[in-house]
Chain A
Amino acid sequence: MSTVIPIRAETSAQTSGCTDVVPLVERGQREVFCGLTGIIWLHRKIQDAFFLVVGSRTCAHLIQSAAGVMIFAEPRFGTAIIDERDLAGLADVHEELDRVVGQLLARRPDIRLLFLVGSCPSEVIKLDLSRAAERQNQIHHPKVRVLNYSGSGIETTFTQGEDACLAAMVPGLPASTDTAPALMVVGTLADVVEDQMRSLFDRMGLQVNFFPPRNSQAMPVVGPNTRYLLAQPFLADTARALQSRGAQHLPAPFPLGVEGTTAWLQAAATELGVAPEVFEQATAAPRQRAEKALAVQRQMLQGQRIFFFPDSQLEIPLARFVHRELGMDLVEVGTPYLHRQHMAAELALMPAGTRISEGQDVDLQLDRCIADAPDLVVCGLGLANPLEAQGITTKWAIELVFTPIQGYEQAADLAGLFSRPLKRRLKLAA
């Protein structure tokens, strides 16, 4: 397999794959999470940050349902529940918020970064959280920095909550004074994946910063010399914010599977002048290891027909991976939102004629899914058991966000996530 993949539309991928695809756009009931859910993995990443949702009991209930048992380990997230006194104007909402934040910070003196997270209720009543954050900043400066972003369902879908969070941090990143190009990887990766990527870049002789950082006191610098790779496909606003600080995007497919990871690394290596033999030396061993591990999974998955419901925007890169590296056939690839520019390299690699859908009308999509009778359906937990009960094998999508799946070492694990439900069905049927 070539390590260099045509990643720019103007070179050779002009008409290949799904570059010019017209997605099936649907509006209707959407069976998706809101952006608040991003808190679940973001708070694990930034270890001295607290996420305070300003919302309703529904918001608190959502996070606790999604967080499962994590809530009990003295979590670094909570909800300031708006009550009728706030709505009736009996209480000054901003004073109330001051009180709650004071109470919270007194309880958690280890917190250095506080996010006020907007929700549907707070946005509908037009609670100005950016002003509130500014005021809190004055009160708690310099011990705690307070930022705000929206994770509401009316603004964001699932992983877009991370986008909004990172975008809120960008204006506060220290400015870089260097002129030599510097590399930044943007998007939350599991620590183990981050460490692997860092060591791969090390072997190429590249220094790399990860954003978000593990600690709010170690924010990466940004400036016109910054070249950034997106590790996640859902970071439209963050990319825009970085762009406005002068940083330049390195277009690449996302680091899923051997091919995706190689192309992703290659984009940085090419831009920062890594010699081809150095690149080859750094990546050859893990690449071969991953290919070998994938070959086992491929036997199980080859020729299986897969259907993706929209969830996280990871669907297109995942579909590209399962098709090209595992030989699966794509029935439909649904995504909550299609960012053409960030997805360009991925679309070029997709088989031409793939049915790609953007948005959702869940009942119609279920009709299509059942009519297509795919071998495996990637969907949310609200749909998974009902589809299983109809005899359709499913892979629940959230796991793809919570599990380390990026990079060479995880390629086979990622494939395993798709093969396990099929294997299980065979075992139980026997």
Chain B
Amino acid sequence: MQLTLWTYEGPPHVGAMRVATAMTDVHYVLHAPQGDTYADLLFTMIERLPRRPPVTYTTFQARDLGGDTAELFKDAARQAMARFNPAAMLVGSSCTAELIQDDPGGLAQALKLTIPVVALELPSYQRKENWGASETFYQLCRHLVHKPAADKPAKARPTCNILGPSALGFRHRDDVKEITQLLNQLGVDVAVVAPLSASVADVQKLAEADFNVVLYPEIGLAAAQWLQRQFDQPYTKTVPLGSHATRDFIVEVCTLTGLPQPAQDPSNAHAHWYAKSVDSTYLTGKRVYIFGDATHVVAAARIASQEMGFEVVGLGTYSREFAREVRDCAKRYGVEALITDDYLEVETQINALQPELILGTQMERHIAKRQGIPCAVISAPVHVQDFPARYAPQMGFEGANVLFDTWVHPLMMGLEEHLIGMFREDFEFHAGAAPSHLGSTRPAAENVAPVVAAPISAPVATPVTAVASPTAPAPTNTLTTDSVQKVAAPAQAASNQATWSPEAEKELGKIPFFVRGKARRNTERFAQDQGVATITVETLYDAKAHFSR
């Protein structure tokens, strides 16, 4: 038994639902108790699908248990067949039905349906959602894929399938569009995308393409490996997440197909230049923590380190199936991978590491919020806002652009927050000041009164970490480790504080107001550490020298 307050993944039958819902003419008959229909609303609310997922539940109740739940299942399957007329049917059990041991596969066989019926064995007490999706897609391929005709007509351009995208996938919709465009530009036609928007007839044709593109190994890898074993169909190993990985992906595709490699990146590849522009210098060495599914974590670590210039201080995944890949990845950054589905462990690690940016799931977003750390979402599970209306791929060059903006925004906002905290002392930004565009309505008394007194005497209310050096107006590395630690325990010194000499106070007034609070605090801290009772101009500059190391 495991105590759980939060789970990163649902049960495996939800994975099967993701595959069934992704496809166009498959129906899933699920032996499940009343209440398991809750999973429908993941699709209708989070992904905002305008249709019901193609799932019929037997919804048995206690009074049915004494009777014939098997008959109930057969009725449900028969009725689903008559009503929805699917091209193939998935049958299986949810966790409770697994315990009552009816055999959906055998029962469905007894109905002698005229369509392919795929029986799913999804061990609910050992496996989880992604495994369920992967297994379902693999079983569908095994049951449906036809051997291609020996004398298939020659094609003008090489073709591939895209494997892995599903319903409820994080940005799957737009990733497919982006990678399809990329492949088309290279000269490759996409034959079938599966399971997303694929029909049974599409899946039957999978073996006819020249190779497979595995976009999401969590869901598509098992099927791709099977297709390789059965039909010698190669598959791509690189997931095109990030500019570098996208280039590697292009090389891989060109090697597989013998097509020429494009000479340069497309004109929309902005992320690379943005990261190089001087505005991004302050991103250098930012300490980042990464958690999510294996594919997105491994990719994010590479982007963070090589494309953004961050320092990866910790990473982990809830995907146990891909633990080895994530451990290998962690080694490259000199950290230990955290493989867990317990969010409390993730929280503990984040607490210990105190990163400056967290890249994770919606769970990490809430951990980050609690701890006041900037955060961006890179992986499922996600909430409704991460199924956006706008075009927002993660993969390919446009994906790299999206990632750059998404990751930097919380940091910019973090910086803004600190600056506003400092500006609070300024006459134009104090709490009582009206916004500048309402200047004419500003009460005359208020904008004068607190101005002069405030900067010198009022302590800074919020932690000020943005600027390490008191005199340099725009230093580059604004949020270093030690500056974070320096502000960790600021307030305690209040009782035995050193007094400021009038000259030092005056000198402090010369420092730009947006770093003045920081300078004051650092100086006082220094004075206290050194046992200085009166702060002189000398002390001020000693402190500056001390902290600017």
Q: Residues of A at under 8 Å CB distance from B?
A: 28-37, 54, 56-58, 60-62, 64-66, 69, 71-72, 75, 77-84, 86-87, 91, 93, 96-97, 99-100, 103-104, 120-121, 123-125, 152-155, 157, 363, 380-386, 388-389
Contacts and interface: CB of A to CB of B under 8 A. Distances in A.
B33 interface: yes
B50 interface: yes
Contact of B96 (A32, A65, A121, A389): A121
B94 A382 contact: no
A65 B1 contact: no
Given A29-B56, A381-B41, A78 B4 contact: yes
Interface in B118-132: 123-126, 128
A77 to B, nearest CB: 8
B99 to A, nearest CB: 5
Interface in B37-88: 37-42, 44-45, 48-52, 56-62, 64-65, 76, 79, 83
A87 B125 contact: yes
Given A72-B366, A120-B35, A385 B1 contact: no
A382 B44 contact: yes
A65 B7 contact: no
B95 interface: yes
Nearest to B51: A386
A80 B3 contact: yes
Contacts of B14: 58, 61
A363 B5 contact: no
Residue in B36, B41, B57, B128 with the greatest tally of chain A CB atoms within 10 Å: B41
5 contacts: A33-B38, A56-B124, A65-B38, A104-B3, A382-B52
B33 A57 contact: no
Given A33-B38, A386-B50, A389-B50, A61 B44 contact: no
A380 B95 CA distance: 23
Contacts of A69: 366, 383
B76 A82 contact: no
B6 interface: yes
A29 B116 CA distance: 23
A152 to B, nearest CB: 7
Contacts of A84: 123, 125-126
Contact of A57 (B35, B76, B95, B99): B95
B2 interface: yes
Interface size class of B (residues with CB under 8 A): 35 or more
Interface of B: 1-7, 9-11, 13-14, 33-42, 44-45, 48-52, 56-62, 64-65, 76, 79, 83, 94-96, 99-100, 123-126, 128, 363, 366, 370, 383
B35 A153 contact: yes
A96 B2 CA distance: 9
A65 B40 CA distance: 11
Given A36-B35, A99-B1, 15 more contacts: A28-B79, A29-B37, A56-B124, A58-B10, A64-B7, A65-B41, A72-B370, A79-B7, A82-B1, A83-B1, A83-B126, A87-B99, A123-B62, A381-B41, A385-B44
Nearest to A30: B59
A109 to B, nearest CB: 16
B45 A153 contact: no
Contacts of A72: 363, 366, 370
A155 B63 CA distance: 8
A121 B1 CA distance: 13
A93 B1 contact: yes
A105 to B, nearest CB: 11
A389 B33 CA distance: 28
B4 A79 contact: yes
Contacts of A155: 61-62
Contacts of B56: 29
Nearest to A363: B83
Contacts of A363: 79, 83
A58 B125 CA distance: 10
A313 B440 CA distance: 58
Contact of B34 (A154, A382, A389): A154
A217 to B, nearest CB: 24
A58 B11 contact: yes
Contacts of A125: 99
A2 to B, nearest CB: 41
B6 A120 contact: no
Contacts of B3: 78-81, 100, 103-104
B366 A58 contact: no
Contact of B10 (A61, A99, A381): A61
A56 B40 contact: no
A100 B10 CA distance: 21
A99 B79 CA distance: 45
A383 B52 contact: yes
- Listed from nearest, the 7 A-B pairs whose CB atoms lie closest are A34-B35, A153-B35, A389-B50, A382-B40, A120-B96, A96-B1, A56-B95
B52 A386 contact: yes
